[in-house]
A and B are shown apart, each in its own frame.
Chain A
Amino acid sequence: MEFDLVFLSRVQFALTIMFHYLFPPLTIGMGVVLIYLGGMYLKTKDPAYKQAQKFWTRVFGLNFAIGVASGIVMEFQFGTNWATYSRFVGDVFGSALAAEGIFAFFLESGFLAVLIFGWNKVGPRMHFFSTCMVALGSIFSSVWIVVANSWQQTPAGSHIVPMTREVLNARGESTFDANGLLITEPWIIDGVPVMRAEVVDFWQMVLNPSTFYRLTHVLLGCFIMGAFFILSICAWYILKKKYVDFAERSFRGALILATISSILIALNGHRQAQNVYHYQPAKLATFEGHYESEGPADLTLFGIPDAENETVHMKVAIPGGLSFMVHDDFSFSEPVLGLDQIRPEHRPPLWIPFISWRLMIGIGTFFILLTLYSYFLLWRGTLFQTRWVMRAYCVSVVLAVIANQVGWIAAEVGRQPWIVHPPIVVDENNQPVLDEEGYLQYRKVEATLPDGTVYERYAGLSTEDGVSKAVAAEQVAASIVMFLFIYVLLGAVWIFVLNKKIQHGPDPPEEGFGESSTLGMFQLGGQHQGEGLADAGLHDEAEAKVNQGGDHA
């Protein structure tokens, strides 16, 4: 492994996206819960809902802030570290990103202000409307970003064309021919035409073959994350016998979301895997560590993959299982295209996707069993007394985080060595066409140069070719150090503040802010200036101020 520009840029992208992706799923998942709580409060006027809503909104705000801060990095990073990629995909990918900015970000950040700061400024209906808008904004955002990423996996609605360039004179001015028309020329540097992907059909690009499956999968993953985040905190309260009423109420609500999402994501995941096989067979074969294209394909449950000897050691497998999963083939015998039919240079790295894929499915299966068993216990009336189940929920938020992360790792590492995956060559029955050496073929595009020679390239872009040319490896190394420093710090502070909020718990369920608003007025009176006065919304700090006030008296 060489610490070159490509490697470092990949490390940096992995680091920043993985840190960022801790937060959007929490925001999206909790947004749904906030809508539920806000809606129930409007309907029933039960102050307990408002109490829960206020508590979860505070946690939501904290997660959102770090999500925004780490999200800006993502948008800039395509340009800073992957400039060649940006030049290649900007026409297609950029439009999805810009749509995200204009439709999603303005919506969520604008109404977030009302959600967090507007309790006393707007009525309950407007507040509920704002909650819906924030949740909608965060979902919009996931839609556009998944559209953009899915296009990279299964490009559609676009073509790859050579670029032209206006001819400038020595003063940098445009030039015109005798008819007053702008003079342009094919853009060719050292005999290589500069090419890029351009949109042909916008809706086909948006609704490319994998968008639907992947978007559903991502959203369900977010719901699971949000639900388990809430379940975990509530389970902790129940174990500690704190705020038990509040905790049980929130727990029941989140359990519904967790159960439904866990079951749906398994069904959706199955369909999605078939979709992956159809468009990116190398990726699925890597997930499965599947090397033999001949005969029935086994479904490997466990094993040690070995890329060098093209096999999986010590494997525990279901004979013909993969044939069944991929083709819905009840005879368990239909062949599945394996890595032996992928050129070695087109194979993704083996270990990371193989393990990520198994972790994700393992955790998903555990969630289904855990939630269903919880309903059984709920029916028996013993759920909240069964301590080991509550303990399992306490830690399961970590599993939800891992499942979301490794799912993406499998998807992105499995796409390698491509940053934009070229479509595979298929016949009229949509079956892959192998070349004369028996390898899977990727589609190519041609461009004719003015001298008549034909230039040929893959209808995609390899990750190696996507990096910035104007950036040195040392610069990327320096920025990795900077991001590591900030993110470790941020992560620590986030957990510290989150822990404080959880320890503090929800405010007592009552209309208005009886106790704390008088303290707020104290503060406005300016009696305690210069003593590091607290955020009056937080109960424990309000107590601290009572003590301070006592000292003064």
Chain B
Amino acid sequence: MLEQVHNFLLFAENSFPYLDREGLSLIWFLILAVLLTGYAILDGFDLGVGILHPFVARNDHDRRLVMNSIGPIWDGNEVWLVTFGGALFAAFPEAYATVFSGFYLALMLLLFALILRAVSLEFRGKVTSTAWRKVWDGAFFLGSFLATFLFGVAVGNMMQGVPLDPHHEYIGTFTQLLNPYSLVVGLLGVFAFALHGSIFLYLKTEGDFQQSLRPVMWKMFSVFAPLFVLVSVWTTLSVPRALETLHAYTWLWVVPVLNVLAVLNIPRAISKGIEGYAFISSSCVIAAFVVLFITALFPFLVPASNDLAHSLTILNASSSEKTLGIMLIIALIGMPCVISYSVVIYWTFRGKVKLDETSY
């Protein structure tokens, strides 16, 4: 059995001789983008639901509805992040090490937020007391908000670049990461996910509670839209690299154009009462954000703001050709499995959320 697998791997390896380290590094850059997109869309609505939680649900029944709308799926959605982390470690160990150690305190806060969110979902329903539930409601909101905000801040900093030494070590400070541009990107992230989450929640609920979410969607959009414009303008002014790639590969202009169209389609779909389309649009907006993010990075993984020659390029940061090839085979075997049972599980838990004895 092992022998056959091994032979197959050898065969696969020899069938793609043109996949050298450069080609494989680029493929892995794209795979990471796919994982990040999957994470941002799927956990995006989980986090958004968490951010909205204290503001949209006024009683315990509604709060349970909100939590249970993501109950069975949030855990699987978070695995996209875990796998993204693992894949980054394996395919680009230099980038993994630079970013994770450089953003140390931010990462620790992120871990704090993710732990808080996970356990508040699990613990909240276990005790009847109002005070107990209030504590975990707060934790659920704080965890979701903080995680989203930090993701945004991290993206903002990566866009701008961070100071690196010749060993690829981060030489800035924690407060340096909290610059105005990154903070605004963080806010954009919060409202993008909150909007995405509000549409998701609308689709998963019914009756009076569902109707009470309609103004919420509008409010989220009315904050999101100006932030979107602000960040777009600010990015074109302060991150010239973002446009360079677009100029070099003009067909990529299709992404920002679709992005704008998707943003515009959200209010159209909401007012027409076709919220399913609004959800697809908000998913597309998030996907476009990820694509624009990686086009802005390309050909770097971590641009150095002090001296571009210290930057981590896709090639400098990547693993050996051998490892990238093996990992590609692992991904080609694994991803179809992942997608097929994700579909099964989403199908199992389709439809409006109902509370029963298995709910949180």
* Chain A residues proximal to chain B, CB less than 8 Å: 61-62, 65-66, 68-73, 75-76, 78-81, 83-84, 86-87, 89-95, 97-103, 105-107, 109-114, 116-122, 133, 165-166, 168-174, 182, 189, 194, 196, 198-200, 202-203, 468-471, 475, 478-479, 482, 486, 490, 493, 497, 500-501, 513, 516-517, 520, 523-524, 526, 529-538, 541, 544
Residue among A61, A116, A172, A194 with most chain B CB within 10 A: A172
Chain B interface secondary structure, helix, strand, loop or mixed?
A: helix
Asked if residues A62 and B122 are in contact (CB atoms below 8 Å), the reply is yes
Asked if residues B61 and A529 are in contact (CB atoms below 8 Å), the reply is yes
Report A-chain residues with C-beta under 8 Å of the C-beta of B140.
none
**Which listed residue, B60, B167, B304, B326, touches A199 by the CB 8 Å rule?**
B326
**Which listed residue, A92, A107, A497, touches B341 by the CB 8 Å rule?**
A107
Asked if residues A80 and B86 are in contact (CB atoms below 8 Å), the reply is no
Q: Which residues of B95-134 are within 8 A (CB) of A? A: 96-102, 104-105, 107-108, 110-112, 114-116, 118-119, 121-123, 125-130, 133
Report A-chain residues with C-beta under 8 Å of the C-beta of B86.
75, 94, 97-102
Q: What are 13 residue pairs bridging A and B, where the CB atoms are less than 8 Å apart in the complex? A: A65-B118, A65-B121, A65-B122, A72-B115, A78-B89, A79-B101, A83-B97, A86-B97, A172-B308, A174-B299, A200-B322, A203-B2, A533-B60
Q: How many residue pairs, one in A and one in B, have C-beta atoms under 8 Å apart?
A: 314
- Tell me the bound Cα distance from A523 to B345 in angstroms: 26
Report B-chain residues with C-beta under 8 Å of the C-beta of A80.
100-101, 104, 107-108
- Tell me the bound Cα distance from A322 to B77 in angstroms: 51
Residue among B112, B115, B300 with most chain A CB within 10 A: B115
Report A-chain residues with C-beta under 8 Å of the C-beta of B349.
113, 117-118, 121
- Tell me the bound Cα distance from A196 to B316 in angstroms: 13
Q: Is B212 an interface residue (CB 8 A)?
A: no
Asked if residues A81 and B101 are in contact (CB atoms below 8 Å), the reply is yes
**Which listed residue, B60, B308, B330, touches A530 by the CB 8 Å rule?**
B60
- Tell me the bound Cα distance from A119 to B316 in angstroms: 50
Give the nearest-CB partner of B173 in chain A. A472
* A-B CB proximity, top 4 nearest: A90-B93, A79-B100, A172-B308, A94-B90
- Tell me the bound Cα distance from A112 to B93 in angstroms: 31
Q: Is B342 an interface residue (CB 8 A)?
A: yes
- Tell me the bound Cα distance from A174 to B22 in angstroms: 12
- Tell me the bound Cα distance from A112 to B76 in angstroms: 9
Report A-chain residues with C-beta under 8 Å of the C-beta of B129.
532
Asked if residues A117 and B169 are in contact (CB atoms below 8 Å), the reply is no
Asked if residues B101 and A471 are in contact (CB atoms below 8 Å), the reply is yes
Q: A94-B86, A110-B341 are in contact. Are A189 and B167 (CB under 8 A)?
A: yes
Q: Is B267 an interface residue (CB 8 A)?
A: no
- Tell me the bound Cα distance from A233 to B64 in angstroms: 30
Residue-wise, chain B 264-305 has the 8 Å CB interface mask toward A (1 for contact) of 000000000000000000000000000000000001100110
Report B-chain residues with C-beta under 8 Å of the C-beta of A174.
299, 313, 315
Q: A113-B72, A544-B128 are in contact. Are A198 and B320 (CB under 8 A)?
A: yes
Asked if residues B115 and A73 are in contact (CB atoms below 8 Å), the reply is yes
Q: Is B348 an interface residue (CB 8 A)?
A: yes
Q: How far is the CB of B247 from chain A (nearest CB, A)?
A: 14
Give the nearest-CB partner of B335 in chain A. A102
Asked if residues A170 and B2 are in contact (CB atoms below 8 Å), the reply is no
Q: How far is the CB of A144 from chain B (nearest CB, A)?
A: 9
Report A-chain residues with C-beta under 8 Å of the C-beta of B98.
83, 470
- Tell me the bound Cα distance from A497 to B323 in angstroms: 44
- Tell me the bound Cα distance from A166 to B25 in angstroms: 13
Asked if residues A535 and B125 are in contact (CB atoms below 8 Å), the reply is yes
Q: Is B309 an interface residue (CB 8 A)?
A: yes
Asked if residues B327 and A95 are in contact (CB atoms below 8 Å), the reply is yes
- Tell me the bound Cα distance from A105 to B356 in angstroms: 27
- Tell me the bound Cα distance from A86 to B115 in angstroms: 23
Q: How far is the CB of B94 from chain A (nearest CB, A)?
A: 6
- Tell me the bound Cα distance from A233 to B262 in angstroms: 55
Asked if residues B76 and A475 are in contact (CB atoms below 8 Å), the reply is no
Give the nearest-CB partner of A102 in chain B. B334
**Which listed residue, A86, A520, A534, A538, touches B96 by the CB 8 Å rule?**
A86
Q: How far is the CB of A177 from chain B (nearest CB, A)?
A: 15
Residue among B119, B125, B169 with most chain A CB within 10 A: B119
Q: How far is the CB of B186 from chain A (nearest CB, A)?
A: 19
Asked if residues A75 and B61 are in contact (CB atoms below 8 Å), the reply is no
Q: Is B250 an interface residue (CB 8 A)?
A: no
- Tell me the bound Cα distance from A201 to B334 in angstroms: 20
Asked if residues B114 and A79 are in contact (CB atoms below 8 Å), the reply is no
Report A-chain residues with C-beta under 8 Å of the C-beta of B356.
120, 517, 520, 536-537
Asked if residues B313 and A493 are in contact (CB atoms below 8 Å), the reply is no
Residue-wise, chain B 153-192 has the 8 Å CB interface mask toward A (1 for contact) of 0000000000000111111001000000000000000000
Q: How far is the CB of B35 from chain A (nearest CB, A)?
A: 9
- Tell me the bound Cα distance from A292 to B25 in angstroms: 52
Asked if residues A523 and B6 are in contact (CB atoms below 8 Å), the reply is no
Asked if residues A468 and B104 are in contact (CB atoms below 8 Å), the reply is yes
**Which listed residue, B60, B64, B125, B330, touches A98 by the CB 8 Å rule?**
B330
